[in-house]
Amino acid sequence: MAGAILGLETSCDDTAAAVVGDDLTVLSNVVSRQLDVHARYGGIVPEVASRVHVSEVIPTISSALDQAGVEGRELRAIAVTRGPGLIGSLLVGVSVAKALALVWGKPVIGVNHLEGHLASALLAKEEVEYPCLVLLVSGGHSLMVRMSAPGAYTVLGSTRDDSAGEAYDKVARLLGLGFPGGPVLDRLAAKGVADIDLPRPMIRNGLDFSFSGLKTAVATHVRKNPRYVVENVAASFVAAVMDVLRAKLALALDSQEFRSVTVVGGVAASPILRSHLEDLEERRDIKVILPPLAYTTDNAAMIAAAGWHLYTTQGGDSLDFGADPKMPLPQQTATATGR
Ligand code: KG4
Ligand code: ZN
């Protein structure tokens, strides 16, 4: 299929547009982050996020098209995140995608945000071999998924409460470190010693996750030890999260046959997690896929990549689809159509 797909992502606080060409070559990947806007509130304010999307979305799309050297009318199709996410934010992307599809006479494809994260593995330089074990760890989700082909997923485990990224963000907030928590806690952890005894929730208990007890344990520790060393708290917290993620990956790899393994979503930016994955390649006979950092946190290249697959197998959607803030990951076969 010749041509390029415009991806559009506005499900949370990042306005993102990307152009992906043949063989999933990323021609541009533009992300306008709203971090400063929300920092003063200590977290994302949905109404503020959707208003910023309204002002950012057209300039972001223009930059993505310019950087790719592609005109709107030359596109093959437009792929847009339709859920899960914040309803006001999703509506901005879905409405703009449909309007541009009408103006340019292009098909539009509604993409599940989680499916987008899974598709980020397809943007790595290593080719995915199936079945692939995918650990999706983001701010909104922690999922262990068996991907037997692009578009064919089985969820093996998910979080019972907070996601891994949410735990990072809540711990950073209680330590007064701002938002998002991942990068700052990783930086501090590298300078600290993991000398605090924190729980590893559900570490030996199947493939589901639970991180809220860990966050509470950090809160209790800092309340009882007001002279805590922040680097050591960060190191202890990160060590606990990583122990759990490593143990779950090992359990999944022991329980079924996989030909490759990958980690996607914002927490996949963690250097500790990335180096653990590299170790796995040596210790087990399995191919490791490491999506470039730019495709771990929210971006539109991954939405365009998922859109390619959906478009080539199922064609465009009719224009009556809406935003779906609670959209689950479609667990389907590669050729099924029930979107
Ligand atoms: O995938 P993402 O951009 O958004 C969602 O779909 O949720 O993930 C954002 C999450 C935040 O919770 C952030 O703290 C976390 O990813 N994160 C990290 C790192 N960079 C971002 N967590 C651990 N280490 C990092 N370096
Ligand atoms: Zn995401």
Q: Is the CB of 297 under 6 A from ligand 1?
A: yes
**Beta-carbon neighbour count of residue 162 at 10 Å?**
22
What backbone phi and psi angles, to 5 degrees, belong to 33?
-90, 145
Instruction: Report d(CA 263, CA 315) in Å as an integer.
Output: 28
Q: Once rounded to an integer, what is the mean pLDDT over residues 280-308?
A: 95
Token pair for residue 113? 């945000």
The percent of residues above 70 in pLDDT, for the chain, comes to: 97
Q: What is the pLDDT of residue 41?
A: 79
Is the CB of residue 11 below 6 angstroms from any atom belonging to ligand 1? no
**Partners of 317 in the β-ladder:** 108
Index of the ligand 1 atom closest to the CA of residue 141: 7
112 CB within 6 A, ligand 1: no
User: Ligand 1: distance of its center to the CA of 240 in Å?
Assistant: 17
Report the separation in Å between the CA atom of 9 and the middle of ligand 2, taken as the mean of its atom positions: 9
Number of neighbouring beta carbons within 10 Å of residue 336: 13
Interstrand relation of 108-112 and 132-137 (parallel, antiparallel or unpaired): unpaired
What is the Cα–Cα distance from 326 to 73, expressed in whole angstroms?
32
What is the CA(272)–ligand 1 centre distance, in A?
14
Q: Does the pLDDT at position 75 exceed 80? A: yes
330 CB less than 6 Å from ligand 1? no
Contact between 139 and 169 under an 8 Å Cβ cutoff? The reply is yes
pLDDT: which is higher, 40 or 79:
79
Q: pLDDT grade, residue 169 (50/70/90)?
A: very high
Span from the CA of 182 to the centroid of ligand 1 (angstroms): 6
Distances in whole angstroms, Cα of residue 142 to Cα of each of 54, 159, 166, 236, 280: 29, 5, 10, 20, 20
Reported pTM: 0.95
Q: Is the CB of 266 under 6 A from ligand 1?
A: yes
What average pLDDT does the segment 31-56 reach? 87
- Indicate whether 229 pLDDT > 60: yes
**pLDDT per residue as tens digits for the range 183-222:** 999 999 999 999 999 999 999 989 999 999 999 999 999 9
Instruction: Please work out whether the CB of residue 291 comes within 6 Å of at least one atom of ligand 1.
Output: no
Residue 128 DSSP label: P
Banded model confidence at residue 332, pLDDT cuts 50, 70, 90? low
Amino acid at 168: Y
Cβ(168) to ligand 1 under 6 A? Answer: yes
pLDDT at 2: 66
pLDDT, position 337: 36
**Per-residue tokens: 226:** 């007001």
User: Does an H or E element contain 52, and which?
Assistant: helix 46-68
